[in-house]
A and B are shown apart, each in its own frame.
Chain A
Amino acid sequence: MRTISAEKIRNTVRDLCIRANLDLRKDVLRVLKISLRKEKNKRAKNILQAIIENAAVARKEKLAICQDTGMPCVFVEIGSNVKVAGDLKGAVNKGVEAGYRKGFFRNSVVKDPLSRGKSGYGPAVIHIDIVPGNKLKLVVLPKGFGCENKAQLKMFKPTADLSEVKKFIIDTVKAAGPDACPPYVVGVGIGGTADYACLLAKKALLRRLSGYPVIRLSGIRKLERDLSNEINKLNIGPMGLGGKSTCLAVNIMTHSTHIAGLPVAVNISCHALRSATSEI
């Protein structure tokens, strides 16, 4: 058994919150630059340039990439041979608060969803999973709500065509339109149950963006690329002002499901898809 202290977890989460909010993911930046190169629309090009410049300013000036530093979502994978000395969730939440305070990020979380009240830094949404091994993996995803508000779930019939599923995903992007800061990263969860499909859609955002190299793809990877191509024909574009840069990528995760159903969830991320990972 390997023991990891709550303090170590707290400090790691604190550092991850800062890294995620200041340092745009390299894969996201890379695909943004590819989009800029491919984009023909002048206004779209100008906006993409501003987005890329913003990432540089954020890193240099230590200012949050976006003022919406999000609802902190934290994914914890604990190796089955790891013992956490202390309160794990408490440590994560303390780490979030410490990171957000240190980074001067926004206190965007209200304790009670109905009575609202004064906003603070947490508690975060925490997902805990147990995996084989003796490591502990932490991922911080600060999720802005402009895009989180555009998430959708649909329970299809098991006999639904793939074309119906594709239409739902594309319609979800259309419904987000200019509001959720395109170009988007579209996370899709297919299968499982209603709740699990939503979790998969969120987790899909954590997967590295590929930028779709021109090679023969099959199965889910092909579906991702086909959807991405169709979405980029919607002419939503950066800020919704037109152009072919409507999505940076479509990431799909699947899980086995019941004979009676086909859950499909879509979780959209703005272009400022932020996350940071560390393994202890």
Chain B
Amino acid sequence: MQNLKAGDRLFFSGTIYTARDQAHKRLVEAIKKGQRLPIDLKGAVIYYCGPTQTPKGKIIGSCGPTTSARMDEFTPILMKAGLRGMIGKGNRSPEAIRAIKKYGGVYFLIYAGCGALLAKYVKKAKPVAYKDLGPEAIYKLEVKDFPLIVGIDVKGGNIYDKK
């Protein structure tokens, strides 16, 4: 991760967790109360995504990224708790970018509005927390060759500043 630079393309294989607005709110509330988190954030990658229902016979439904900026206010606290990678769409706020730099994380972009195409890269999917939130539950995903673009790198270099 340390060597990635804003603008680089890469294909990521491994484990990621989906989380969007409500899951972020709950994770941050739990951290503030000192409660145990339902997922291990240490070194974790969060994908800002709320998939559709899973059709019969499929691993996951349509599963593209949602707008990252809505998660900005939660990012510094989650990064302090160990979060290191984020995948979404759009630019981030100065406070989120500062946190990415401070904790040495990376923010990735992925094809926006291409949920059907991206489902092909998901090899396993399982809801692991906050299942009552339905599409906003946290899913553990195993992805293969997930097509990412580095949006903001460990040094705070930002693809949107140099396009």
Contact = CB atoms under 8 A, between A and B. Distances in A.
Contacts of B135: 67, 106-108, 119
A119 B134 contact: yes
A241 B90 CA distance: 9
A242 interface: yes
Contact of B90 (A61, A178, A271): A178
A36 B109 CA distance: 20
B160 to A, nearest CB: 7
Contacts of A144: 113
Q: How many of chain A's residues touch chain B, expressed as a range?
A: 35 or more
Contacts of A62: 55
B117 interface: yes
Contacts of A118: 132, 134
B55 A179 contact: no
B81 to A, nearest CB: 24
Interface string A77-110: 0000000000000000000000000001111100
B67 A179 contact: yes
B116 A65 contact: yes
A22 to B, nearest CB: 9
* Secondary structure call for the A interface: loop
Contacts of B147: 50
A223 interface: no
B159 A271 contact: no
Contact of A54 (B56, B66, B114, B160): B114
B130 to A, nearest CB: 12
A66 B64 contact: yes
A257 to B, nearest CB: 33
A235 B149 CA distance: 18
Contacts of A179: 67, 69, 89-91
A63 B90 contact: no
Nearest to B88: A179
Contact of B112 (A55, A61, A239): A239
Contacts of B56: 104
A54 B90 contact: no
Contacts of A105: 52-53
B163 A64 contact: no
A107 B67 contact: no
A104 B111 contact: no
Contact of A51 (B62, B111, B134): B111
B115 interface: yes
B90 A65 contact: no
B89 A181 contact: yes
A240 B109 CA distance: 11
A123 interface: no
Given A106-B135, A241-B159, A180 B67 contact: yes
Interface in B44-73: 49-56, 58, 61-64, 66-67, 69
Contact of B117 (A53, A116, A235): A53
B119 interface: yes
A170 interface: no
A239 B67 CA distance: 11
A239 B147 CA distance: 14
A261 interface: no
Interface string A128-170: 0000000000000000101001000000000000000000000
Q: Which 7 pairs across A and B sit closest by C-beta, in order of nearness?
A: A58-B116, A242-B163, A64-B62, A54-B114, A179-B90, A104-B53, A63-B116
12 contacts: A57-B117, A58-B117, A63-B62, A66-B116, A67-B64, A105-B52, A106-B53, A106-B61, A119-B134, A179-B90, A181-B112, A241-B160
Given A54-B111, A119-B136, A179-B69, 20 more contacts: A51-B114, A53-B117, A54-B114, A57-B116, A57-B117, A61-B58, A63-B115, A65-B116, A67-B135, A68-B66, A104-B61, A105-B52, A106-B135, A144-B113, A146-B67, A178-B90, A178-B91, A181-B113, A240-B163, A272-B113
